[in-house]
Amino acid sequence: MIRLSEVSLTALLFVLITACQSASSDLQSQEAPPGLDLSLMDTSANPAIDFYRFANGGWLDQVEIPADRDSWGAFDDLGKQTSEKVLTILESTIKKGDFDPKTDQGKAVLFYQTAMDTAYLNELGIRPIEEELRKIEAISQLQDLEAYLIASAPLQSNTFFSFTARPSLNNSAINAGFLNEGALGLPGKEYYVKTDEETLRLQGEYKAFVSRVLQLAGAKEEVAKAEAEDIFQVEKRLAEAQLDKIQKRNPLLMNNPRSRAEIAAMTPSFDWEAYFQAIGLGSIDTFTVMQPAYIKSLESTFSEEPLAKLKSYTRWTLLNSALAYLSRDFEQANFDFYKGVLGGVEEMAPRWESVLNTTNFSIGEALGKLYVDAYFPPEAKKVAEELVANLKDAYGERIQQLEWMSDSTKAKALEKLANLRVKIGYPDKWKDYSALEITGKENGGSYAGNMINVSNWDWKRKIEKVGQPVDKGEWFLPPQVVNAYYHPLYNEVVFPAAILQPPYYNYLADPAINYGGIGAVIGHEISHGFDDQGSRYDATGNLKNWWTEEDRERFEARTQKLVDQFNAYEPLPGLFVNGEFTLGENIGDLGGLNVAFDGLQKHLKAHGDPGLIDGFTQNQRFFLNWATVWRSKYRDEAMKKQVKTNVHSPGQYRAIGPIVNMPAFYQAFQIGEDSPLYREDSVRVVIW
């Protein structure tokens, strides 16, 4: 159900999304200067010793992480500025009072308006989900639990297992159904299976959080504590059966087509035939089981765990998915654990920010149309299209020049590059929300109730897709979200309108700034088509090997060097970056920066070099802006969570990690062998 922002992103299991982080909370209200802001550098530092400090020292000294954030950087700053623009649109529309709640845009405004009425939500308390809780309470035998899981599938609370639709791994032109793991309350498997002191502490905090919520829902303290322990034990059992975070990055392990009969044989205690018939897919014979061992493990879970424990876990997944959309006491409990304990955040963000974020991932394209009309100039799209074309050419040249790849594999790589789809700004065809029901306060609606409606609407769309041709025009991020992504099943790169702003792109700035910013972002997303995951998909998005065995071995030898490099980075004492877990993003950064640098050289050759600006050459400004894009600060708790759960390396290592492999960086800043940044030729990484 609910937490749709997380559900939507989870649905992009194979989408490799860039998330950029860095910039100043003190500068939020100011226009970004054209190019580099020298006041945010520390030119007294030696770039050959501490390049990150040289590029960002002023910013690091001036900026504190806002009390309502677990980290802060350029991504966050630009995201907040963009959200404020969308807020202006919403508030203006609400003030006028002339919006039609039956239109898509009117529904987005009504959704937001209803969610912002905190007095009304506090009055409602837990009532918006009471009916579902009563259904769970009425379960008296395993067959009742099975019936509830089938009937409640549209809520998407992912109790015990999840189901979604996306292009088939073997035929990306047709949508398939995917069966996968269920919901966990902690961020990942390792939070359940590790036994170090820190993990055990977090487990204790989690149980206390579960108990607190159960008491808010009406349970007595001792009963809630015992039930919280039961819930944790069920989740631990589910977590132990899941693939680990490294395994989940391997699409080959996820490609397991199974017939309905084969799925039924995996878990005889659950009536899968009734499930598929009930959700409207009784005519579909084959589905992709992403983790067969996990689905098989549900048999012992259903047959061995007491019904009371299974009911408790079912109730908890519903409650936990709804916490942020209920009354203040539930929202506070949700914040205190997920943001406070796990992120170290000191205070809750302004309500408008969290509600707007939910609106973006619930009915986002309706808002996106308003944002594009108000803030996205046509020339920004034109410039981005030119940059992409330039960088695709540069990437093709790099592929042709690879000395480690055979001609036959190069031909396939070039074919994939030629077939790469590019989406910039906003969709050609906007999503249709006419079937989505959004209800205001005067008609008995609520924040949680509208989220249930969104989940039901989203579920219906998913089910209707299975077995049908893929809509290649669909977007998975709205235009007003600052981000970008590559989708391997579509072989496409997508750049929403909101990322085409400073510090990534500034039409007033010199070319080095734009190539070191949006150029590197574009190159990064293109590189995802050729990273350790994306390289397993062919030109049409099918999971199909297009490599010779020898080329794949040479590729993996090079990527192992990158794994080794990032494994050595230690953001906190004893806490090391996981180079294997972050490999795809690190390949994206390395390949993207190289191709962006080549693109800059092509641009300078065609248009001329503007010479020194603020005392720096174009090549120097290119690397400086790259480091500027990734300046960031983290609370210790957030850094620990980042390293454990995020496929992106922390910002400071994204800034430095790629450039120390590039001879152009050494030349630009006269980096010699005596520099701590210097890497011998034998360990420098060149992949694409």
SS3 19: coil
pLDDT at 93: 87
User: Which percentage of the chain shows pLDDT scores above 70?
Assistant: 95
User: Do 381 and 316 fall within a single domain?
Assistant: no
pTM: 0.93
Q: What is the mean pLDDT of residues 82-100?
A: 90
User: Do 408 and 277 fall within a single domain?
Assistant: no
Number of other CB atoms surrounding residue 563 within 10 Å: 19
Beta bridge mates, 167: 175
pLDDT at 502: 87
User: Do 535 and 625 fall within a single domain?
Assistant: yes
Q: Say how far apart CA 449 and CA 14 lie, in whole Å.
A: 30
- Cα–Cα separations (whole angstroms), residue 467 to 45, 275, 278, 287: 59, 17, 16, 10
| 507 lies in some domain | yes
Q: Say how far apart CA 513 and CA 33 lie, in whole Å.
A: 11
Whether the CB-CB separation of 41 and 54 falls below 8 Å is answered with yes
Average pLDDT, the chain: 93
User: Do 51 and 139 fall within a single domain?
Assistant: no
Please name which of 589, 469, 459, 585 lies closest in space to residue 174, comparing C-alpha atoms: 469
Question: For 433-449, how does the pLDDT look when each residue is reduced to its tens digit (9 = 90+)?
Answer: 999 999 999 999 999 99
Q: Tokens representing 481?
A: 């979200």
User: Do 498 and 573 fall within a single domain?
Assistant: yes
Contacting residues for 470 by C-beta, under 8 A, at least 6 apart: 167, 172, 173, 174, 175, 489, 490
Which of 325, 343, 365 terminates a domain? The answer is 325
Confidence of residue 302 (pLDDT cuts 50, 70, 90): very high
* The amino acid at 300: S
Whether the CB-CB separation of 159 and 313 falls below 8 Å is answered with yes
456-464 contact pairs (CB < 8 A, 24+): 456/154, 456/155, 457/433, 458/4, 458/7, 458/8, 458/156, 459/153, 459/154, 459/156, 460/154, 460/435, 462/163, 462/164, 462/165, 463/165, 463/279, 463/280, 463/281
Please name which of 215, 241, 237 lies closest in space to residue 226, comparing C-alpha atoms: 215
Return the DSSP state at 543.
B
Query: Where does residue 305 rank: exposed (0-12), middle (13-18), buried (19+ CB within 10 A)?
Result: middle
User: Do 139 and 264 fall within a single domain?
Assistant: yes
Helix axes 51-62 and 618-629, enclosed angle (nearest 10): 50
Q: Say how far apart CA 666 and CA 680 lie, in whole Å.
A: 12
Question: For 156-195, how does the pLDDT look when each residue is reduced to its tens digit (9 = 90+)?
Answer: 999 999 999 999 999 999 999 999 999 999 999 999 999 9
Beta bridge mates, 537: 543
Give the lowest-confidence range in 79-88, 262-271, 379-388, 661-670.
379-388
Q: Say how far apart CA 313 and CA 645 lie, in whole Å.
A: 23
Contacting residues for 386 by C-beta, under 8 A, at least 6 apart: none
Q: Say how far apart CA 416 and CA 527 lie, in whole Å.
A: 11
Contacting residues for 30 by C-beta, under 8 A, at least 6 apart: none
SS3 631: coil
Is the preceding peptide bond at 101 cis, omega within 30 degrees of 0?
no
Please say if the pLDDT value at position 15 is more than 90.
no
Whether the CB-CB separation of 396 and 414 falls below 8 Å is answered with yes
| 228 lies in some domain | yes
| 679 lies in some domain | no
Return the DSSP state at 349.
P
Please say if the pLDDT value at position 21 is more than 70.
no
Question: For 499-546, how does the pLDDT look when each residue is reduced to its tens digit (9 = 90+)?
Answer: 998 888 888 899 999 999 999 999 999 999 999 999 999 999 999 999
Question: Phi first, then psi: what are they for 669, rounded to 5°?
Answer: -115, 15
Q: Say how far apart CA 248 and CA 533 lie, in whole Å.
A: 10
User: Do 51 and 166 fall within a single domain?
Assistant: no
SS3 96: helix
What's the structural domain count of the chain?
2
Q: Say how far apart CA 523 and CA 495 lie, in whole Å.
A: 12
Beta bridge mates, 425: 496
Query: Where does residue 653 rank: exposed (0-12), middle (13-18), buried (19+ CB within 10 A)?
Result: buried
Which of 325, 350, 368 terminates a domain? The answer is 325
| 418 lies in some domain | yes
User: Do 501 and 641 fall within a single domain?
Assistant: yes
Question: Phi first, then psi: what are they for 217, rounded to 5°?
Answer: -85, 0
* The amino acid at 648: H
Q: Say how far apart CA 462 and CA 166 lie, in whole Å.
A: 8
User: Do 198 and 290 fall within a single domain?
Assistant: yes
Query: Where does residue 383 rank: exposed (0-12), middle (13-18), buried (19+ CB within 10 A)?
Result: middle
Please say if the pLDDT value at position 25 is more than 90.
no
* CATH code for the domain in which residue 628 is found: 3.40.390.10
| 368 lies in some domain | no
Question: For 379-407, how does the pLDDT look when each residue is reduced to its tens digit (9 = 90+)?
Answer: 888 888 888 899 999 999 999 999 999 99
Please name which of 302, 450, 424, 343 lies closest in space to residue 66, comparing C-alpha atoms: 343
Q: State which residues form the domain around 625.
A: 4-20+24-62+377-425+483-668
Confidence of residue 33 (pLDDT cuts 50, 70, 90): low
Return the DSSP state at 537.
B
| 355 lies in some domain | no
Number of other CB atoms surrounding residue 521 within 10 Å: 26
CA angle 618, 63, 346 (to 5 degrees): 140
Q: Assign residue 50 a region (left: φ > 0; alpha: ψ between -120 and 50; beta: otherwise).
A: beta
Confidence of residue 107 (pLDDT cuts 50, 70, 90): very high
pLDDT at 94: 87
User: Do 381 and 321 fall within a single domain?
Assistant: no
| 468 lies in some domain | no
Whether the CB-CB separation of 56 and 628 falls below 8 Å is answered with yes
Beta bridge mates, 17: 485
* CATH code for the domain in which residue 183 is found: 1.10.1380.10
Q: Say how far apart CA 237 and CA 304 lie, in whole Å.
A: 11
- Cα–Cα separations (whole angstroms), residue 123 to 114, 117, 119, 215, 354: 13, 10, 6, 18, 20
User: Do 145 and 261 fall within a single domain?
Assistant: yes
User: Do 527 and 640 fall within a single domain?
Assistant: yes
| 487 lies in some domain | yes
